[in-house]
Amino acid sequence: MIRILLILILIAGSVVASYSLTDDRYGIQSQEMLREIEADALYASSTLGRNHIDKRVMSALAKVPRHEFVPAYLRPSAYANKPLPIGHGQTISQPFIVALMTDLLQAKKEDVVLEIGTGSGYQAAVLAELVKKVYTIEIIKELGESARERLVRLRYRNVEVRIADGYFGWEEHAPFDAIIVTAAAGHVPPPLVRQLKPGGRIVIPVGGVYQVQMLMVVTKDKSGKLKTQQVLPVRFVPLTGVDRRE
């Protein structure tokens, strides 16, 4: 009996050790990802006007298990500083771009944020670490449903996912303190501008599939007047939808 107990203890110890090694591996990769983000921010400092990403954003990136948001076969590359395919012709953005767009949003703890383009749910999870509530819209049903299940499983209770055309925003929960769009639009969608609070900002890549896309920040002042700022050239999958009659 004692021998059986010893064997069971050894087996249990091996299981714990294997999980520990897995966690350590991802932890090391996550730290390397953060270092690369900081290096990219330093490299792009002349364009960005500063040489770092806000500490709150970096802390959020450190907390979110990026390997949970990519297909299983890509988990060894989950923390590489590059975009990765997630199916249906879509990608999870490069970590530096996620960090930069989140930083540009300047979201505060009590903010309510709208995201257009849920994808696998990674950007929503990062935002969930920073703000009060995240509403996120995905037009591809399969991606939206799997992202919803993933976010629930990972206990991101302040994120709500909707399957819809994000071009039209989410009127029921407007106005929003900030809006982030994770696909390239030919122009800034007017419904999103209307659903943005005065004093809020939209971070969005603008440009066609075969054109130079520009990451832009659109701010709305207290009177409703808009100001746009070009940040840097980017490359995103296009914002898709069925109706553009605005």
Catalytically annotated residues: 93
Dihedral, CA of residue 85, residue 86, residue 90 and residue 91, to nearest 10: -50
Q: What are phi and psi of 120, to 5 degrees?
A: -85, -10
- Spatial separation of the C-alpha atoms in residues 147 and 134, rounded to whole Å: 13
| Residue whose structure tokens are 């997630």 | 86
Give the span between the Cα atoms of 189 and 103, in whole angstroms.
Answer: 21
Report d(CA 60, CA 214) in Å as an integer.
25
Contacts of 157 (CB under 8 A, 6+ apart): none
First-to-last alpha carbon distance for the chain, in angstroms, is 75
Calpha distance 134→128 (Å, rounded):
6
- DSSP, collapsed to helix, strand or coil, labels residue 11 as helix
Nearest-CA neighbor of 102 among 68, 151, 61? 61
Determine the 3-state secondary structure of 228 from DSSP.
strand
10 Å CB burial of residue 89 (0-12, 13-18, 19+) is exposed
For residue 112, the Cα-to-chain-centroid distance in whole angstroms is 15
